[in-house]
Amino acid sequence: MQQSETDQGAPAVNHAPAGDQAGTAAIDVAHLVKVYKTTRAVDGISFRIARGSITGLLGGNGAGKTTTIAMIMGLVLPTSGSVEVLGAKIPDQRYDVLGRMNFESPYVDMPMRLTVRQNLTIFGRLYAVKHLRERIDRLAEDLDLKDFLDRSNGKLSAGQKTRVALAKALINEPDLLLLDEPTASLDPDTADWVRQHIETYRKTHNATILLASHNMLEVERLCDRVIIMKRGKIEDDDSPERIMARYNRDTLEEVFLDVARGRVREGAP
Amino acid sequence: MSEIVSHQHRGISLHRINAMVLRYWYLLLSSWPRLLELVYWPALQIITWGFLQNYISQTSGFFAQAGGTLIGAVILWDILFRGQLGFSISFLEEMWARNLGNLMMSPLKPIEFLLSLMIMSIIRLAIGVIPMTLLALFFFGFNFYAIGLPLIAFFCNLIFTSWSVGVFASGLVLRNGLGAESIVWTLMFAVMPLACIYYPVEVLPVWLQYVAWALPPTYVFEGMRALLIDRVFRADLMIWSLVINAVLFAASFAVFLALLRSAKRNGSLLSGGE
């Protein structure tokens, strides 16, 4: 697997202070509620995410992570509450900022019959990327896609598809990147490689990244801040170290199990 | 804004429409079964109906004089039906590929998406119907293009109707997922008996004639018969068809946007399943 020099030299954990100063948030969510018929998928959550940070959104299945991300993207309308992204109100002003965002999710695929190059060309054109051919070549170099750039997406392995999806998510060099389970179903080597690339991208572009994941090691390694959700509510919100200290645990996985099983945290406010 | 991204158009962007047309063009070129499917049914239709017309012409004085009404009707019906399918299948390709979320998260606007589907419906229609008209000429001596300028009016009215139905059907699939896919394939057939494709409107019961005259294609098929049988171009029929089409077109757009909003409320944009 290819790896850039900056990747190799990157520290494993980079924990900047959590929270944000007023007016500089990349994402500002206030009192957000989503009700599907009788189910409250998201139940009055509020948070602000600082520009240039990586925030992990944790929670079990049905915790409301994907619905929250979908509302931030404007793909799901909130029942009540508000979302602002890069200063634009979502969903009303989403077209003002969509060109500065991108996402990767296991709920979507790239067209299978098109080659990797064709897919990236189309998304590059949709995002009005300048010097698109050079941009695709650069992404192919960075993400190690060169060997299968002219192969159809349907003939790629899971790891290759994930790298292509990441290339699509980075095609416009987004200021805000939303990643839903970016390393799901990847072998440890590929997953580690993808994490390194995400980390490097954040550093080199001062991008804001919101990452929903079930992989606690991934979150520990990448994120400045962790928001733990349970049944649509925010259960905890702090840096990984402070959360682990509060629960008197050594790993986020243990914290996750405590939250999921309803164990009372020590030193909780 | 990243320096690698050009200024984002606030209005409709031809660049993004072009990107979507390119996406469907790549797909067509990558799949010979898709290309074959576009030609296969229209060719079978014209051959079957052409021989039927030949047979009826030999046994009926009326059809001998009204040469080409059946074949002409088959070709115009195919413009209507294939126009809608061309629109809707391109839309379904996004659902089948689970690509709709990617598109909806991109700067592509719904109107640009729909416009690209309209362009694709014309491209797909051309691939299917042009060989059909050549077969009609070769096998049955029916020159579809001899209709002349009225053909433009017929085509425009039919393609507008096909887009309206396509927009409406796509909205239903968007809202209800692929479980509603069968609507795409069958919706136009609801129009078939009432649009009086193969017979004049007077054949219908009086009360049903009112329904028939509310459908834009009825005017086109009546206009075609007037042209082929009476050698008269009925501009009044084309204008009426255009007026109703305008209303239908606006209504289908409004319904699509309402269904898109409902899909966002319902959370079905990312699922798109059954």
Residues in chain A within 8 Å Cβ distance of B264? 74-77, 91
Interchain contact, A128 vs B7, CB within 8 Å: yes
Chain B contact probe: residue of A42, A122, A175 with most B CBs at under 10 A: A122
Q: Is the pLDDT of residue A22 over 70?
A: no
Q: What is the mean pLDDT of chain B?
A: 90
Token pair belonging to B94: 């996004």
Chain A: give the shortest CA distance to residue B161, in Å. 28
| d(C-alpha A144, C-alpha A239), whole Å | 32
Cis peptide before B131 (omega within 30 of 0): no
Residue type, A92: D
Structural domain containing residue B207:
14-266
pTM over 0.80: yes
A105 touches B: beta carbon within 8 Å: yes
**The pairing of beta strand A233-238 with beta strand A54-58:** unpaired
**Is-contact A86 A175, C-beta < 8 A?**
yes
**Is-contact A214 A71, C-beta < 8 A?**
no
Structure confidence at residue A21 (pLDDT): 45
**Residue A94: alpha-carbon gap to chain centroid:** 18
DSSP B106: S
Q: Which of B192, B71, B80 is nearest to B133 (CA)?
A: B71
Q: In the predicted model, what is the mean pLDDT of residues B8-35?
A: 90
Structure confidence at residue A16 (pLDDT): 38
Q: Is the pLDDT of residue B139 over 50?
A: yes
Q: For chain A, what percentages of helix, strand and coil (3-state, to nearest 5) are there?
A: 40, 25, 35
Token pair belonging to B113: 């998406």
Q: Is the pLDDT of residue A148 over 90?
A: yes
Q: Is the pLDDT of residue B126 over 70?
A: yes
Q: In the predicted model, what is the mean pLDDT of residues B14-20?
A: 96
Residue type, B59: T
**Is-contact A166 A104, C-beta < 8 A?**
yes
Interchain contact, A99 vs B107, CB within 8 Å: yes
B220 Cβ contact partners less than 8 Å away, ≥ 6 residues apart: B76, B154, B157, B158, B237, B238, B241
**Is-contact B173 B91, C-beta < 8 A?**
yes
Structure confidence at residue B229 (pLDDT): 87
In-domain check, residue B203? yes
Q: Is the pLDDT of residue A160 over 70?
A: yes
Using DSSP's 3-state secondary structure scheme, residue B7 falls into: coil
Instruction: Give the pLDDT band (50/70/90) at residue A12.
Output: very low
Instruction: Give the pLDDT band (50/70/90) at residue A214.
Output: confident
Long-range Cβ contact pairs of A156-162 (< 8 A, separation 24 or more): A156/A116, A158/A185, A158/A186, A159/A186, A159/A187, A159/A190, A161/A109, A161/A110, A162/A186, A162/A190, A162/A194
| d(C-alpha A47, C-alpha B14), whole Å | 38
Given the structure tokens 């029929």, which residue do they identify?
Answer: B237
pLDDT tens-digit series, residues B180-237: 899 999 999 999 999 999 899 999 999 999 999 999 999 999 999 999 888 899 999 9
Tell me the torsion sign for CA atoms A14, A20, A26, A32: positive
Using DSSP's 3-state secondary structure scheme, residue B205 falls into: coil
| d(C-alpha B147, C-alpha B137), whole Å | 13
Instruction: Give the pLDDT band (50/70/90) at residue A193.
Output: confident
Identify the CATH number of the domain defined by range A5-112+174-260: 3.40.50.300
The total of structural domains in chain B comes to 1
In-domain check, residue B91? yes
Interchain contact, B107 vs A127, CB within 8 Å: yes
Instruction: Give the pLDDT band (50/70/90) at residue A11.
Output: very low
Structure confidence at residue A9 (pLDDT): 34
Chain B: give the shortest CA distance to residue A152, in Å. 9
Interchain contact, A108 vs B100, CB within 8 Å: yes
In-domain check, residue B7? no
- Percent of chain B residues topping a pLDDT of 90: 71
B225 touches A: beta carbon within 8 Å: no
Per-window interface: A 120-159 vs B, CB < 8 A: 121-123, 125-131, 135, 152
Q: For chain B, what percentages of helix, strand and coil (3-state, to nearest 5) are there?
A: 80, 0, 20
Interchain contact, A123 vs B265, CB within 8 Å: no
Cα distances from A133 to residues A80, A113, A118, A136, in angstroms, run 43, 20, 11, 5
Q: Is the pLDDT of residue A137 over 70?
A: yes
Q: In the predicted model, what is the mean pLDDT of residues B53-76?
A: 78
Q: Is the pLDDT of residue A7 over 60?
A: no
Q: Is the pLDDT of residue B151 over 80?
A: yes
pLDDT tens-digit series, residues B78-99: 999 999 999 999 999 999 999 9
Structure confidence at residue A18 (pLDDT): 44
Q: Number of Cβ pairs closer than 8 Å across A and B?
A: 131
Given the structure tokens 């795409």, which residue do they identify?
Answer: B184
**Is-contact A155 A116, C-beta < 8 A?**
no
| d(C-alpha A239, C-alpha A246), whole Å | 11
In-domain check, residue B183? yes
pLDDT tens-digit series, residues A86-117: 999 999 999 999 999 999 988 889 999 999 99
Instruction: Give the pLDDT band (50/70/90) at residue A4.
Output: very low
pLDDT tens-digit series, residues A45-78: 999 999 999 999 998 888 999 899 999 999 999 9
Chain A: give the shortest CA distance to residue B38, in Å. 18
DSSP B267: T
| d(C-alpha B218, C-alpha B227), whole Å | 14
DSSP A217: H
Q: Is the pLDDT of residue B159 over 80?
A: yes
Helix pair B14-29, B69-96: axis angle to 10 deg = 100
Residue type, B138: F
| d(C-alpha B197, C-alpha A52), whole Å | 63
Which chain A residue has the Cα nearest residue B273? A107
Rg (CA), chain B: 20
Q: Which of A105, A5, A78, A69 is nearest to A210 (CA)?
A: A69
| d(C-alpha A70, C-alpha B267), whole Å | 8
Per-window interface: B 245-274 vs A, CB < 8 A: 261, 264-267, 269-271
Interchain contact, B15 vs A107, CB within 8 Å: no
Instruction: Give the pLDDT band (50/70/90) at residue B130.
Output: very high
ipTM, interface predicted TM-score of the complex: 0.87
pLDDT tens-digit series, residues B41-64: 899 989 998 888 888 877 766 665
Structure confidence at residue B235 (pLDDT): 95
| d(C-alpha B168, C-alpha B252), whole Å | 5
A54-58, strands of its sheet edge to edge = A101-104, A176-180, A208-212, A54-58, A225-230, A233-238
